[in-house]
Structures are given as structure tokens and as C-alpha cells.
Structure 1
């Protein structure tokens, strides 16, 4: 049976159908490529963020340069060649021996640790130093941090070997080692106290900024800082606003009730200055986290416009442990200036 011209036209694929099929195939292929790309970026971004050791923004180093670089002990690659930290490198070997006393009980000797660190090194961007030096640095630094924190928190009384400057150095943003390296080493230790690494670290730093045990893992909400002007302490008191010290579990628990500004007491010293500077720097480098410290400093710097304001806050018990001329407290104003600058360039 022969087909007529009209029959040939009937079995010819419609151009619209062809175009629709091509568009559907193209759309499906591009969707798949997009999904594959997103998955790849998620994996690489996650890895990159976990190994990143941030640099402090230059504006903050101008406020207080001595809170940025380590004074005694260097952690990580940035400051390891400074003359002031070289002497302490010898002490890290003692902490390595101490940590090995834990790992050997679990069959994890130095050879296994080196192999594990070498595997991690291949996934890290170790461009500042050689691979062998990088592995040694990661082992010594992580063993020192874990050994120091474990010894410090496992004694009822403050240990005789504790050095306040070392604790400050461990707070510094540029003086860090990637957290997953500490996790790997801590898992090899398998300490008997059962604490997670996060809890161990919180207990360690909690000794300097004490809180109740049940509050150590909780977070207090801090309202975002407003650009709206807040008067300084002197002007607030002239306006009839009272300022009172309150007991709180966090220095961020600030309230205003019945014409009274309620503020927890805080000690301003070398430790808290280092803490604030580096936490603000971290908030600047990681914009996805809440800016608790930046908001607090912005608020306090509004209250402080002169040394008289500092004196009044000291008399009310809000600020303690400051120098006789009150000049050290004025670093709050310097930090606030930087926060304003960073807001405008963000």
C-alpha cells in the first residue's frame, strides 16, 4: 500500500515538538550541571572554611596591635618565625610527650599520628611552609593546645604552670590551627573525662570569664546594634537616667527598665581587650555569624565619651580593673571608630 503526500506529512515530526524536546533536554542537562556545580562548591567551601586561619583586618590592628600577634607561643604558620616565640617551641615537645601518654594507651603511636596528619596536610593549603614542617607544626601545636587545656581544666586549683599570656595568645585570631585537626588529635587521645572538645575549650576559657556550669553552652540573644545615637553616661545621668550594675551570666544581658539602665559588671584588662578585639575580627571575617561582640562594644563606646564617663561607670561597679588614669578604657572608642568604618566599606 502506498502512502500519499498527506500521509507523509502526518508522520513527519512537528517542528514545535522537536524544539520542545530539545529545550527540555537542554534544560534538564543544565539543571544537572548546576546541581553538580552547587554540590562541588558546597564541598569545597565547607572544606575551605574549616581550614581557614583568618587575618585580622588592618583597621583593628591599628586599634591595639599587641592584641593581634602572639607574645609567647605561636600557633599556626603566620607568626612562627617571630623572635619572641622561638624559645617556647621547646616546651611544645613536652606537651607532645604528655599527649602521647594518652594516645599510646589506645594503640595510637607517633607513627600513626604522623600518617594521619600527612593525610590532612594533603587536603590543606600549606603554601607558607614545606609539607614536612607543616605536619610537624600541626602535631606540636595541636598537642600543646590540647595538653595545656586538659591539664588546666583537670586540676581543682589553678596549676602552677599556667601563664596568663599563653591563654591570651590562644585567643588570637591569627594564632590558630584548624579545628578539625584538634578534633582528630583529641579523638586519638580518648580522654577519660568524657568531655567533647567543644566543652573542654569552653571550660578552659570559662576560667577567665566565669559563668555557671549550666550556662556554659547556652547563648544569650543580643539585639542588633542600632545606628541611633545613645548618649554618654554623663549626659544620661543629667537626663535622670540611672545606671545600675546587675548580676548576670553574660556581659551581654543589658536591660532598660523604669528609667534605669542595667548593665553587668565587666573587667577591662589585657585578657578582655584581647578577647574583644579578636572576636570582633572574627565577626568581621565571618559575616554569617551574629555580631554579639561588635554590638556590645558599639553600645559601650556610646556610653563612654571621656575619662569622666569611665570614672562614673567605675563608681557604679560596671567597669573594674582599669588603670588609674582610665586611658586603657578608651580603646572602646577606638574599636567603635573601626566598626563605623567597616560598616561603610562592607
Structure 2
């Protein structure tokens, strides 16, 4: 792929219509596809053009989509570091040669997982790319194996990356770009090749720990994450799956299909008598997707919007738009929040309820108030796990009493001056009546 090619999105091919349906007895199976289907896609052009930088790496290139970017100035240092990781894991040349053979055995199946063919990348280069990228990720994830000690960056990393001490935060988000992935089976194969006797290290746990600053969901006292290593397609898929309501521990607002596809803004709903409340975790598990509505109270888990949130959410949504068997939960959530937040007043309401926290420092004028509206541009929303919630909210809003309450609040209690005038009038009226009675009888 040339530099000019990398500036354009890759259009995914049609999925295999004959793929086998996941086992019905596996509740998590609906989030996973069979191995012969594409799992790593180019971002669709209409989505890519809305915000190109959100889908392009800033610190490290992984996989074939950005292969030609690897030696660009701002990415070169991490490319050198990949060699350091590979040599550290495999000090002997003959071990590296055996590893290349292992990667060549995987090449055919790995290529099938990409929506592009990459014919210009010859077999040797493709295998070498898998080895370098895989060793980099394996070395990184193993440092985050669960244990009493905190992960250590190591002296060589500090020397190599001097002047860019915050690079690991950039790396975290780069590793969650849709086009910046290699199949998770490559990392697992390398782990089995290099550590054949290590049955204690679970790479899913390591990855969850590495991305802990993004708060992927897990039950607090759960030693192993509920997704098995063999079911993980790549790192973005893993973190996406960890954010979904846990089949065993979580609850969902999903329900019967509904034609409701819109709800009023937060301030309008408040005028109709609805209360907003930050939803707290139950049994140690809570996803920001777990929105709840009952008896006039909307409970929404807290979510923080910061400078990298756009990249994170855009790639989650791009994954949903490409992967045919997702329920598009993040997309539906973005539309839900976009409906609630139309103005600064809506944003202020959710902020005061400690639901939406704006931590953006760049483009502050385009912060959390317009965050979700930008995410919804050029994005389809045919599936909505919040359909039942939308119906319940509109049923509540459209009752005669609540509609009258909303109209009354809008007309008479929206402005503080109007409230003061009405209060003064309410006080003055009985005084005036009393005065008139006094004049009549006395």
C-alpha cells in the first residue's frame, strides 16, 4: 500500500453467506464470527472522510494497512522498538528463523481475515511483519499479566523513547484502530511457541489490564474475563466485547422491537417531569451502555469525554458498521446521547447529575456538547438495543398530565423572571382581595 493509498479507506467485501451460525447455548457467541470471515476491515469511505485522523496511527503501525507508514518520522521509533522486543524474546537467530516459519504457516489464514488482499506484500515480508508486530504485542501484554507487581516499562524502553514519555497512551489508542490490527491468534501462537510450558498467563487478562485506563468492564472479583482467548479476533474486538453487557452478570435495557427512533432532549424530558440519575454498578459490573428507565427516572452510567474519546468511539462504531453480526450497541448509544444533548443546557443538566464529564482540552468549543452528534454523521442505525427504552420514555412523555406539565413549565417556569412575577402575583392577589374586603365592610 502506497502512502496515497493509506489516505483512503478500504471498502469491506461481502461476508460469506454460508457461514455457520454460532452455537445457541453460547450467550457470548453472538458477538463473534467464524474464522473464515473477514474480521479486520478498511474503514468505509463515507465514515473515513468525516475524520481521517481518528483512524490513523499516531505512535505505532500494526498489520498491513499502514505498512508503508512504518518508517515515517513519528512512527519510526516504535518500529525500532519492535526489533528490540523480538530480539529480547528470541535472542538467537535460529529461534527467529523458526518463528518466521511458524508465521508463514499462519499466513494464508491470516490474510483471509483482512478485507483487502495486499498482493504487493510478498510472503516473506508478510511473515516478518506478523513476527515483529506479534512480538511487540506479546512483549507488551505479558508485562501486564495479573499479579502483585505493577507493570514495568524497563530501562531500554525509557532510553529508546526518551523525549516521548507519554507515548504509551498514544499506543493504547493506536492499538484500538480498526485498520491497525493483526489477528489475536498470531499473538497466541507466538506465546505458545515461545512459552510452551506457561499455562498460567492468559493473554485476555493481560490485554484487559493494559487497557484498564479505558475502564473495560469486568466483574470485580472475577479472576478470568468471560471471553475465551480462542474467540478473540483482535484487540479492538476484545475491548469492544468487554464493554458490552456481560451475558452472565450484566443487565440490558433491550426489549421488544419498537418503531420509536427518537426521544426529546434532556431539558425537554425534565420539563415533562422526568428525573435523571447516574446509574451505579450492580454486582461490580456496569457498562456505559447499561441505560435504564423506570417510573419517570432515567439512569445513565457515568461517562467521561476526553481528547482521545473521538478516536476510541469512532473506531468502535466503524467496527460495528463493518462487522455484520454485532447489534450496534455503541452506535445506538451515540444516537441516544445525541438526542438527549442538543444544547449547552442539556449538557449542563447531565454534568450536574455527574453523568457526562467533559475533560476535553483540545477544541474546547467542540467538546462534549457536540461530541455525540459528530459521531453519528454518515452512520447507519438500523438496530437499537434501546428500542424498548425509547418507547417507554415516549409513553411517559406523551401522557396528558406530563404533556400539560411540560407546556406549563415551558410557558411559565422557563425564565427566572417569569417565576418571580408569578410568585409576586400569587402573594399580591390575596393581599388585594383582603384590602377590597376591608374597604367594603369597614
With CA pairs under 8 Å and 6+ residues apart, which has the higher RCO, 1 or 2? 1
Partners of 1:189 and 1:154 in 2: CA distance: 19
Note the 1:1-346 alignment, pairs <5 A. Answer: 46-49=34-37, 52-82=39-69, 83=72, 84-100=74-90, 109-123=95-109, 124=111, 125-153=117-145, 156-157=149-150, 159-160=152-153, 163-190=168-195, 192=198, 194-209=200-215, 211=217, 212-214=219-221, 216-217=225-226, 218-219=246-247, 220=250, 221=252, 223=254, 227-248=260-281, 249-323=286-360, 325=364, 327-329=366-368, 330-340=370-380, 343=382
Q: How does the TM-score come out when normalised to structure 1? A: 0.75
Kindly state the Cα deviation for residue 260 of structure 1 after the two structures are TM-superposed.
1.2
Q: How many correspondences in the alignment?
A: 298
1:318–1:42 CA distance, 2 compared to 1 (3 A): closer
Partners of 1:197 and 1:75 in 2: CA distance: 18
1:202-239 per-position Cα deviation (integer Å, ceiling 9, x unaligned): 33223421544346533444527964321111211222
SS across alignment from 1:88: helix
Partners of 2:177 and 2:220 in 1: CA distance: 25
Q: Do the aligned residues in 2 keep the contact of 1:93 with 1:140 (CA within 8 Å)? A: yes
Q: Do the aligned residues in 2 keep the contact of 1:63 with 1:335 (CA within 8 Å)? A: no
Kindly state the Cα deviation for residue 71 of structure 1 after the two structures are TM-superposed.
0.6
- For 2:391, the equivalent position in structure 1 comes to none
1:113–1:126 CA distance, 2 compared to 1 (3 A): farther
Partners of 2:350 and 2:139 in 1: CA distance: 39
Partners of 1:165 and 1:153 in 2: CA distance: 21
Kindly state the Cα deviation for residue 47 of structure 1 after the two structures are TM-superposed.
4.7
SS across alignment from 2:181: coil
Larger radius of gyration: 1
1:103-139 per-position Cα deviation (integer Å, ceiling 9, x unaligned): x8xxx92222111111222443552412222111110
Q: How does the TM-score come out when normalised to structure 2? A: 0.60
- For 2:386, the equivalent position in structure 1 comes to none
For the aligned residues, what is the CA RMSD? 3.1
Q: Which runs of 5+ in 2 are unaligned?
A: 1-15, 21-32, 112-116, 158-166, 227-245, 384-442
SS across alignment from 1:198: helix
SS across alignment from 2:144: helix
Partners of 2:262 and 2:173 in 1: CA distance: 33
Partners of 1:71 and 1:171 in 2: CA distance: 12
Partners of 1:337 and 1:63 in 2: CA distance: 8
Q: Do the aligned residues in 2 keep the contact of 1:243 with 1:316 (CA within 8 Å)? A: yes
1:87–1:299 CA distance, 2 compared to 1 (3 A): same
Q: Do the aligned residues in 1 keep the contact of 2:50 with 2:377 (CA within 8 Å)? A: no
The runs of 4+ residues in structure 1 deviating greater than 6 Å are none
Partners of 1:63 and 1:314 in 2: CA distance: 27
Q: Which runs of 5+ in 1 are unaligned?
A: 1-38
